[in-house]
Structure 1
Amino acid sequence: MSFTPRISLTVIVFVIICLIAACQKDTSIPAVSGTSESGNTAQVVSNTTGLQATNTVTATTNSSETARVNTSAAICCKTENVIIVVIDGARYSETWGDYTRQNIPNQFNLYFKGVMLNNFHNMGTTNTDSGHDAISTGNYEDLENNGHVLPQYPSIFQSFLKSTGKPAEKAWVVASKDKLQILGNCTQEDWKGKYMPRTDCGNNGLFSGYRLDDTTVVHAKNVLGRYRPNLMLINLKDPDYFGHSSSWSNYIKGIQSTDENIRDLYDYIQNDDNYRGKTTLIITNDHGRHLSGVADGFISHGDGCEGCRHIQFLALGPDFKEGVGFQTPYEQIDISATVAKLLNFKMESSKGKVMTDLFK
């Protein structure tokens, strides 16, 4: 008679334990790595850049891409301002492709605060107007390289101003090359002459001639201090200008001087309460230059050789990873979509994609 109750108590305890285990939920977010069921290989953050701080693995399947986008959307974005610096015509082999980084020591120091892409390309026309157009609109167009032709599609500046309703002075194009004033407008009927940003290009606007990069940096800082824009593109011309002069030494000095300009701009951002901790800084090129043995080498550009297409991309900001170099292939047109993501506006005409690998 005493044996039956003991069995009943044991059964009851066992059932209770099973019920508790069945009701528990796993609230952790599983890591995604390896190769997808569809056979797509994961993109591994490798050590080929010579800069690797971590060994992160990121999947590229559709399902993992969705998960990654949803995760970044939940935390994005702390960025309130975006500044894009375009170093005109510096060849990758003299910047990040030179593993000594002797010509870009300041940018190399900034790498540890940001994220770098070593497989970033201009897949359109490798000239100044077309390259800046691709950055600004997310479209590749074969524009005349003389400032006479507007882009067809609306830019990040126009889209930002339309979406936010902010005044023109909240978006700027500040350029050493006067012809880049074209970035402020487009030919598309619904956009032409509308939502145009402020511009400060060349000596005194379109067809006024180029000015010194140091002067452009001074103007950019003055604009940042006076108008507090949320979106700005800065063009620095020296590597391209001196490359075309056929002087290798001056071309290298041009790369080195723009590296100093980058440090100056970064320091300004860090010392300004309006921008510190709220600003994404993107450093890239419009195009590279011919490889040695192609046409006239470093002197020119404009074709589809790897020297003209392979360009740099370094980005720092509150939403981006730090000290990581990626091999993931991205393109120039992807900048516009990523900027739109950061500042929460739509770029409906952009053919680029958000560079999700960059986000924390």
Structure 2
Amino acid sequence: MKLKWLILFLFFSLQGFSQENGKLIWITIDGLRWQELFGGADSLLIGNKEFVSNPGGLAAEFWKDTKKERRETLFPFFWDVAVKEGIMLGNRWNKSKVDLTNTVVMSYAGYSEILTGYADDERIIDNSKIYNPNQTLPEVLNRDPEFKDKIGLFGSWDIFPYIFSEQRSALFINAGYRNSLRTEPSSAEILLGKIQQETPRRWETVRFDTFTHNFALEYLKTEKPRLLYIGYGETDDFAHEGRYDHYLKSARKNDDMIRELWEYVQRDPFYKDQTTFIITTDHGRGESATEKSTWKHHGPSIENSGQTWIVAFGKGISKEGEQSKERQYYTNQIAATVARILGFEYTGNGKAGKPLDVLSE
């Protein structure tokens, strides 16, 4: 019996396993509105032939009589598992509010705010490919021996290497149309890279989320990072194109992908019961109720497109479910929350928002 426990101890030590060391999966879904997350398919858009090629088919797939049924149809994992394992913030119909603090209301500014904990409206004014002058939380963590080379960053958008300032930060970043960057990629990564390069590109700067997701999942399995970031992107690009049908289908696919990640970490001894998920979006969109075309866009001129949401579940998160009380939160609070879950205090040189009050005691 003593020999058995000694073997187990040595095994987990070699794997870098520690019951005290938390792990976190940080996810963003680009431009996903809180209206769909908390209300499902929009009644003013799902039957509009300007935005939907087959209204009848889309309605058969996503339409239900109530918001509750519609959201459960669109996001079955969120509303079956995540809501029971943590907390969901941002349902403004319930007076739970989450907002950006940056006034640019574009993707680069939103991601920088999420990842650094503060807005920089003076230097980040659009989506230009400039290296972020601000240090993201992953960059800060990567200087700590406990996290050095234990961080993996994946994104569908090819500007993520600039947001994470890869030249300065030396972080592992697989984004855009990059194949595996590992020295010895697995057979799955090699095949995935081959398929990615052979697949016609709908957008030159954003790859399909299936490549981002599967590269990230394979990295999770092989490298066992303590912090994994995934930036899904299809929802925003389909919305800009005015394809509400594809926007909904991509959102549902992202829900499936997050389920796959959750089910994997629940099976893996390195991650099981030691992993937290934090999910959000870089910005909102216009409201269909005001003008049908504004749902496609975001920015300082698009009213209410700075409205966002946050979902957190897993280790260390209070199991409050969908928040139904009046509260105001901000996107700039996420970085400090991630740091605290991982055992660090992070202030972003005094500029970052304070951690969210979503942690269990």
Deviations 1:277-320 (A, max 9, x none): 11110111111111223593111111265641221211112211
Partner of 1:107: 78
Structure 1 segments (4+ residues) deviating >4 Å = none
1:193 paired to 2:168: yes
Partner of 1:56: none
**Aligned partner of residue 143 in structure 2, secondary structure:** helix
1:329 paired to 2:303: no
Q: 5 Å matches for 1:34-49?
A: none
Aligned mates of 1:312, 1:217 — CA distance in 2: 21
Deviations 1:179-201 (A, max 9, x none): 11123228xxxxx724x321000
Aligned mates of 1:323, 1:165 — CA distance in 2: 31
In structure 2, which of residues 20, 24, 29 is the aligned counterpart of residue 82 of structure 1? Answer: 24
Aligned mates of 1:286, 1:269 — CA distance in 2: 25
Aligned mates of 2:128, 2:264 — CA distance in 1: 30
Aligned mates of 1:147, 1:82 — CA distance in 2: 29
In structure 2, which of residues 307, 310, 313 is the aligned counterpart of residue 313 of structure 1? Answer: 310
Partner of 2:152: 172
Partner of 1:45: none
- Cα drift, residue 149 of structure 1: 1.8
Partner of 1:278: 274
In structure 1, which of residues 209, 230, 251 is the aligned counterpart of residue 226 of structure 2? Answer: 230
1:116 paired to 2:88: yes
- Cα drift, residue 97 of structure 1: 4.0
TM-score by length of 2: 0.71
- Structure of higher CA gyration radius: 1
- Cα drift, residue 122 of structure 1: 1.5
Aligned mates of 1:247, 1:217 — CA distance in 2: 22
Identity of aligned residues (%): 25
Whichever residue aligns with residue 178 of structure 1, its letter is D
Partner of 2:337: 338
Deviations 1:34-93 (A, max 9, x none): xxxxxxxxxxxxxxxxxxxxxxxxxxxxxxxxxxxxxxxxxxx95611111101111111
Q: Where in structure 2 are there 5+ consecutive unaligned residues?
A: 1-18, 41-66, 91-96, 180-202
TM-score by length of 1: 0.71
Q: 5 Å matches for 1:1-360?
A: 80-98=22-40, 99-100=67-68, 101=71, 102-109=73-80, 110-118=82-90, 119-124=97-102, 125-142=104-121, 143-164=124-145, 166-168=147-149, 170-185=150-165, 193-194=168-169, 196-204=170-178, 209-292=205-288, 293=290, 296-303=293-300, 307-326=304-323, 327-349=326-348, 350-360=351-361
Q: Between Structure 1 and Structure 2, how many residues are aligned? A: 276
Q: Confirm or deny: 8 A CA contact 1:79 1:319 kept in the other structure.
A: no
Cα RMSD (Å): 2.4
